[in-house]
Structures are given as structure tokens and as C-alpha cells.
Structure 1
């Protein structure tokens, strides 16, 4: 997570699950340390029909119960709640456990769908004004949040964030979250999505492979290239990337831009600056650095034609030194990761003259959950999100999905973490205040896709860095013509 996004991460299976629920006893539960506290890929467009579709539809007669101090949204006892979640890197067992807990507390009956086909399954329903009550809108087929927002399909989540916390009713929900994470759900000045999973992005490597080869994790770009060369000399790839989803290689490109040019270079892209790419020395040097990996033959053979899981699985088989990804990687690759692989996280190495330190990382909230404006049981959807932001449900997620949430100190204390998750937590601690995160993928999904497409051409050597910069800037300039862009601004 995803969008994200984003994302956002794609799943390793295309199987949808029919409505059903499972309890906490489905597997041994892995607890996380409360002391740690901190720890998406657009491709399809939402049809413009949703702007005119619905017109009330099923959403015109919403289920409502009696509002009270303990029931701030008026959940109706005995009502039905429909939950749809993206079944990707985090699976969907956590949601089944949530639904069981929700039904037990409120006397509701939940239906569950875990799927990767978010757009395919839900676009017709949004068009008809009959969406589910809660949606984890993530993955390669997520419905673009900016498109949903412009067509009036998203409810304002401010009431959820301003409601009393289930853990401490003297506090608002928003005051129990990691600072800044709620703001990542902004569209046009309103918070309309809840980015739930606290994620870090960067490079990953095998501690075992590096130990066996005598390689030192690189801190500079020259050191990174040296390890890639050593890997090539050893008959394996230097860098694996998920070629069919160029979102992932943009993690490397955009991280380099932010670390070299500082937060101003990042904000220039989010704020659609006319010199965000063309005229930006940080952007020029960063894309040229990535292209050097291509030119020198340091990519894992075949990586340009692979999906995310195919590329990551070959990396698990020691066929590449590095892979780019978010911290959902460990959970997504549980079945293919050798027991002694020793998964490690690495911040993006530094280009000469970088404004940010090596420890700086892209970190923030992913996996956007929404309550549709026309949901039949909107009250239950709002209460469901409030429950997600409790320590109980945050712990359930940590137990089932091997990842942490945006809830501060939101998981039980005292047990061992998996290697990759521990490495991510350590990276967050080391980064301190030196974290950054881009907002343009959620604000301008079409721009994001166009930059991804340019990166796909770059990695295949069909265009040069100068052409990539030109195409990326053209995408920025096009997004700047969107009337809604004036509402999206970061200082």
C-alpha cells in the first residue's frame, strides 16, 4: 500500500473470494512491539459515466440507527454491511477477522469480497449508485481516487477522524495517528480516503547473499553500481524491477530526485511546477543514474517483461542483488522467500551532492480505504473505519498482514519481528524526521500513469533520459490545466 498509492501493491493470485468470514484462529498470530510505534499502481481509468451515474440510486435510502455517545454514526443493529478489500500483498484474512469482531459488537451481518479486480467489480456499481459500504481501493486495478472525488462518489471522512477514539474517548481519532498520515487522503482540501498501512519504500536485498558474496550494503550511487557490477560478474542481475508495473522503478527515480534535490524538488513535482522535470538538475541527474544501470547491463535478465511477483520471486531465488518495492514485500513473498534469506531494507543510495542524508526514506501511509457517498449502510462504513483505528483492530492487522498501521503504538508488545519488517522499522527509526512522500499519484492519476509509461520506455532503452524528462514534464503541464489542481498545493 498502493496507492498506492500507492499502492499500492498487486497480489500474487487472481482468485476472488465469495462472501465469508474467518476468525482470529485461522493461523498463529505474530505480535508486534508497541514500543516501535512506526512501522499503490494505477493502470485503468474510471469511466466518466460515474459522474452522471447513480443520481441517488440505492444510496437514496441509507440504513440508519439511533445516534448515541457510543454510537456516533448511528449503526443500525441487525443491518447488513458490505466490505470489499483488495486481496494483494496483505491478503484479506485481516478483514475477515475485522468483520467477525464488528458483527459481534453491533449485531450486523457482514459480507466479504477479497479481489484484485477492484475496477472491474465495482465500477458498474458506482455508476449505478449502489457501491459497497467499505472499500479497500488499492492495487493495479484500483479506481482512481481523484476521478471518484471529482464525480462526488467519496464521503468526507472528517467526521470519522473527529469522532472519539475507541481506546481513549477523551481523544479524537485523528490525535491517535502518526502525524501527517491522515493528510495523505486529501483531495481538493477534503480527507476522503484513509491510507491505513504505514509503508516505507526503497531497495531490498538478501542479507545471506550479501554475506556469502562479501558485499557491503551501499550508501552512495557509485557503491551501488559497484555491487551491481559484482553481481553481474557473478552471473546474476544487479537490479530487478517489476517491468510490467513501472510504478516500482519510479520508486527509485523519484527517491533519487527527492534525496538529491531535497524537499523542494519533490514539492515542485506535486505542485506541477513548469520546471519540475525539464529544467530540474536533480531530475536530470536522477534519471540518468537509473539509465546507467540499464546501459551497463546491470538489470536482471528478463526483468522488463516480468510482473511484480515474478520479478520478486526470482530475486528470492538469488537471481538479483536488489529489488525496488514497498514494505509489503515481505508479506507478499512469504511463500517464496527461503527461511535463511534474511530480507533487508536499504534507503536509496546517494548521488553526489545530495541534499538529504542517506538515512532519508520515502515513508507514509498507503492502502486507501473509502466509504462511498452513496453506500447503503454509510453509518456502518464510518464506524468500521473508526474501529480500524483502534489498537484492537490495528493489532489484528499486524497479526494477519505482517505490517504496521498508522495508529501510534497500535500493536501489542513483546515479540519478535520478521527480518524484513524489522529492517523497515529500523530504517524509520534511523530516518527520524528525514522522511518524505509524494502526493501526485493520488492527486493526478493520469499524470502518474504517463510518467510510468515513460519509465517503461526508458528501461527498455526505447527512449533516452532527455526524452523521459520531456514526457514527464508534458504530463505535469497537462495536469496543471486541471481546474481542480488549484486546490492541491503543498507548502
Structure 2
């Protein structure tokens, strides 16, 4: 199955989007970049502004039009249709809706022509890179949304209702320009049914993890499956091991492009060696290096492997392929010896960037749409339609029943407590992310050794550090 033919599979997320490695993403040409910078002529007349009130902080015009484009991947787009219906009912607007996987192909000409949509879910393999749009001055400042009254409690601001890290993640060069909406946890996944049948306990250390992979192999099952054509996923494992082994400082050193982020960092080498051990001991599911995300995930659903890495969109993406009694379970990445973070620590952060273009015809409507997305009502609509959580704190009505994988992810977030972490370099430096993915692809195919991976990853960091915009991005 080719990437382009997977209707709903096409990696929903903020994820495969980063597979420039595959050449699936058209890199914006200079003409596009210069058009970004100049913005082209604004030929679209915006609707008359409505009166600005407490209830209407952006001055949405009643009866206007709203143009919404969303990435239609693993989450589908029913949630957005439900949102648009609620918005139109409240504001008397007429929404136009496009759900597509061809974000760049459909929207680059509109950005170039100065007539972009009002709200975009800019995700998927053909995402227009957020850092490229931000540098070109194409994105509206979303700070007014954060400072507007919350629809759930007008005494509070919208920013007070968000999970920590949401604003940081959507900030480019010091300006909040992207609302990463879907709260995702990353790690391994397994079948509760398979583990029960085999009498396997959930592994908490890397040695225990390798032991189960070996037992799986002895039983004629692959140990670890991964989405080989998209090394983004195996990087989840490598990067989580680095953060857990070396602590938050090791993670921040990578985001801050330090000269010893990888080279001279013992935690990084230990992490890469640990993952390489799976390859060397032949504990990978046969053929997994050549599979797409949906192909490898479906094989895992067929009990052909014990573990697979992914974010918590996995359950929704695999709804049709998952046996009824599979009992999908989330597992934090097990720890290496002498790790600074505990087993329960998880990478958790937001994906699926929603943006409002600077030249949107109905910018007020776009901003109000984002404010509505950050209400409990719209957050619960999303959880019901897409089996996933949002960045709204306690954003799901407790009366809504969740599927096993989603419930397992919610439990992991509670258990982790303050022990969550998240890398920002994939959003800040998309080229560096791609180069590290390419190195991981070579590693999993046994074409390079761990020390060479470290060398390549450090070279990617050093290259990103030369970008003049890098000085605006810093984690303390």
C-alpha cells in the first residue's frame, strides 16, 4: 500500500508530516518563499466587522463566511464538521469545509495569491512547514486568543485553561502563531490480550523489554515492529531514551542546539546503542524496515509483533484493523540503567497545528473559531469523534466513555504527573529533524553504527545553529 493510497491512514498527525526524507513533501521553492515574504496582493475584501464586546472579543460579523481547511488523516474530519455546524448556528455564518491530505498542493497557491482560508489544520505529510510560514510573515498573532475570556469561565482567560507547554510549542521567533491542539502521549503500544495469553508482564526496564522481544521471537512473533518508511517513529524511542537517561538537561541541550547535544553526551550514545541492540539481536519484526505506518501497525494488530512505537492517535488510526478484543495498551518507553527520569515519565505534547493566516478574509472569525476549540464543549466533541485528547485541561466530559487505548493513555498521563517532557526541535528546525530521521533509517537497516548516528545527529544540530532565527528559540 503506497503512502498516497491510504485513505484514512495517512499519518494523521504532526508526525509523518515530518517525512521530508521521503521526498513526499514538496519543499517550498524560492518563489513561494519570496511570495511568503511579500505576501502578494490582498484581493479579498473582508466581511464587515462586528461590534467588539465581551462575548465577541474579536468583532465577528454576524452572517459572514468562514473558510476552514483541515488535514483529513487518522482523526478524519467529522469533528471539524461538528465544530463548523456549532459555529454557524451561534454566529449565523456560512462555513465552507475542505478535508484533504494535500495541504501544500491546495494551499500554497492561495497563500501566494493573498487569499488563504480563515482556519487551517496544517498537518500531514504535505504540511506547509509552520516555521516557513512564520518566517514569511504569513501567520496571524494568536496571543489575542490566549488573552480572550474563556467560554467555560469568562472570569478566566483562555490561556488559563491550557495544558502547560501549549503556548511554548506554538511559539516561533517569540510570537505565538500555531495552536497545537491534540494532546498526544508517545511511547510503545501492546495488546493486553496477547500479553495475558503469554503471561508477559509490562516491562519497566530496557532489559525487561529486550527479554519480552526475545520471548516473542521464540514464539514466532516479532519483538518490535516500527514504521520503517517513516523513521519519525523509531526516533520517538531513541529520543525518549535520551531524555530519560540524561534527564531534562539532555533534552534541552538538543533543543538549544548545543555543541555537545549528541557528541560528548553519554546518554545519547547509550540510547542509540540500546535501540541498535534490537537490530543486532534480530528482534525486529521481519520486513518492518520496508513498511509504511499503516502496514506495520496492521501487522502488529494481527499479533505479528509484541510492541510498536507511536503517539496516542494510533487507536483512532487503526480502528478498522484492530480486533474487538485486542485490548490496546500504552507503555512508557522502559528505562536504561541509571536513568535520571523514572519509568513513568512520558513524552507528552501537542500535535496538529491550527493556524489563522495573517491575510485571512475573516480573521476575526478564525480567531473566534480557535477560542471555541478551546472550550470544553468543542474539546469533548473532538474526543467523541477522534478518540483523542486536546490541550484543554480536563477537556473531556467525564460521562464520555473512552476506548481502551485512549483510556490507557489518559491513565498514563495521570500517573506521570509532572514527569512529562517534550522536544521542540522538530517544530523549530524541520530540516534538522529530517536529517536525524535519515540517520535513524540507516541505523535500523544496519548501514551505520551508533557512533556514526551520533556524528550525523550532531552535524544536523551544528547546521541548524547557523540559522539566524535560532537565537530567538531558547529553552531555559
The root-mean-square deviation of aligned C-alpha atoms, in Å, is 1.7
- In the alignment, the residues of structure 2 paired with residue 147 and residue 359 of structure 1 have an alpha-carbon distance, to the nearest angstrom, of 35
Q: Which residue of 2 aligns with 1:115?
A: 100
Q: Which residue of 2 aligns with 1:305?
A: 290
- In the alignment, the residues of structure 2 paired with residue 223 and residue 14 of structure 1 have an alpha-carbon distance, to the nearest angstrom, of 35
Q: After superposition, what is the alpha-carbon deviation per residue over 1:276-315, rounded to whole angstroms, capped at 9, x for unaligned?
A: 1111101101011111111111111111111111110110
Q: Please, what TM-score do these two structures have when normalized by structure 2?
A: 0.94
Aligned positions of 1:174-253 closer than 5 A: 174-253=159-238
What is the aligned counterpart of 1:50 among 11, 17, 32? 32
Deviation at 1:464, TM superposition (A): 1.1
Q: Secondary structure at the match of 2:350?
A: strand
Change (3 A) 1:99 1:11: farther
Deviation at 1:73, TM superposition (A): 1.3
Q: Secondary structure at the match of 1:58?
A: coil
Q: After superposition, what is the alpha-carbon deviation per residue over 1:401-425, rounded to whole angstroms, capped at 9, x for unaligned?
A: 1111111222222243211011101
Matching of residue 440 in structure 1 with residue 425 in structure 2: yes
- In the alignment, the residues of structure 2 paired with residue 67 and residue 135 of structure 1 have an alpha-carbon distance, to the nearest angstrom, of 25
Q: Please, what TM-score do these two structures have when normalized by structure 1?
A: 0.91
Q: Secondary structure at the match of 1:262?
A: helix
Contact map agreement 1:64 1:74 (CA 8 A) in 2: no
Contact map agreement 2:242 2:251 (CA 8 A) in 1: yes
Q: Which residue of 1 aligns with 2:304?
A: 319
Contact map agreement 1:64 1:377 (CA 8 A) in 2: no
Q: Which residue of 2 aligns with 1:5?
A: none
Q: After superposition, what is the alpha-carbon deviation per residue over 1:27-47, rounded to whole angstroms, capped at 9, x for unaligned?
A: xxxxxxxxxxxxx23123333
What is the aligned counterpart of 1:150 among 132, 135, 145? 135
Contact map agreement 1:232 1:238 (CA 8 A) in 2: yes
Q: After superposition, what is the alpha-carbon deviation per residue over 1:96-133, rounded to whole angstroms, capped at 9, x for unaligned?
A: 00011111111111111111111122122222222111
Deviation at 1:68, TM superposition (A): 2.0
- In the alignment, the residues of structure 2 paired with residue 387 and residue 249 of structure 1 have an alpha-carbon distance, to the nearest angstrom, of 35
Deviation at 1:60, TM superposition (A): 6.2
Q: Secondary structure at the match of 2:42?
A: helix
- In the alignment, the residues of structure 1 paired with residue 299 and residue 67 of structure 2 have an alpha-carbon distance, to the nearest angstrom, of 37
Listed as ranges, the gaps of 5+ residues in structure 2 are none
What is the aligned counterpart of 1:333 among 306, 318, 327? 318
Change (3 A) 1:339 1:15: closer
Displacement over 4 Å in runs of 4+ = 9-12
Q: Which residue of 2 aligns with 1:24?
A: none
What is the aligned counterpart of 2:59 among 43, 57, 74? 74
Change (3 A) 1:204 1:67: same
What is the aligned counterpart of 1:254 among 239, 258, 265? 239
Aligned residue pair count: 460
Contact map agreement 2:181 2:351 (CA 8 A) in 1: yes
Aligned positions of 1:352-371 closer than 5 A: 352-371=337-356
Listed as ranges, the gaps of 5+ residues in structure 1 are 1-8, 17-39
Q: Which residue of 2 aligns with 1:33?
A: none
- In the alignment, the residues of structure 2 paired with residue 11 and residue 170 of structure 1 have an alpha-carbon distance, to the nearest angstrom, of 48
Contact map agreement 2:9 2:294 (CA 8 A) in 1: no
Q: Secondary structure at the match of 1:472?
A: helix
- In the alignment, the residues of structure 2 paired with residue 427 and residue 163 of structure 1 have an alpha-carbon distance, to the nearest angstrom, of 31
Q: After superposition, what is the alpha-carbon deviation per residue over 1:150-175, rounded to whole angstroms, capped at 9, x for unaligned?
A: 11111110011111111111111111
Q: Which residue of 2 aligns with 1:19?
A: none
Matching of residue 13 in structure 1 with residue 7 in structure 2: yes
Deviation at 1:11, TM superposition (A): 9.8
Q: Secondary structure at the match of 1:249?
A: helix
Q: After superposition, what is the alpha-carbon deviation per residue over 1:164-207, rounded to whole angstroms, capped at 9, x for unaligned?
A: 11111111111111222222101111110001111100000000
- In the alignment, the residues of structure 1 paired with residue 52 and residue 173 of structure 2 have an alpha-carbon distance, to the nearest angstrom, of 31
- In the alignment, the residues of structure 2 paired with residue 258 and residue 11 of structure 1 have an alpha-carbon distance, to the nearest angstrom, of 35
Q: Which residue of 1 aligns with 2:467?
A: 482
Matching of residue 386 in structure 1 with residue 368 in structure 2: no
Q: After superposition, what is the alpha-carbon deviation per residue over 1:47-74, rounded to whole angstroms, capped at 9, x for unaligned?
A: 3333322634236643341232122212
Mean alpha-carbon deviation: is it higher for 85-94 or for 119-128? 119-128
Change (3 A) 1:55 1:403: closer
Q: Which residue of 1 aligns with 2:446?
A: 461
Q: Secondary structure at the match of 2:380?
A: helix
Mean alpha-carbon deviation: is it higher for 82-91 or for 71-80? 71-80
Q: Which residue of 2 aligns with 1:23?
A: none
Deviation at 1:379, TM superposition (A): 1.1
- In the alignment, the residues of structure 1 paired with residue 232 and residue 103 of structure 2 have an alpha-carbon distance, to the nearest angstrom, of 18
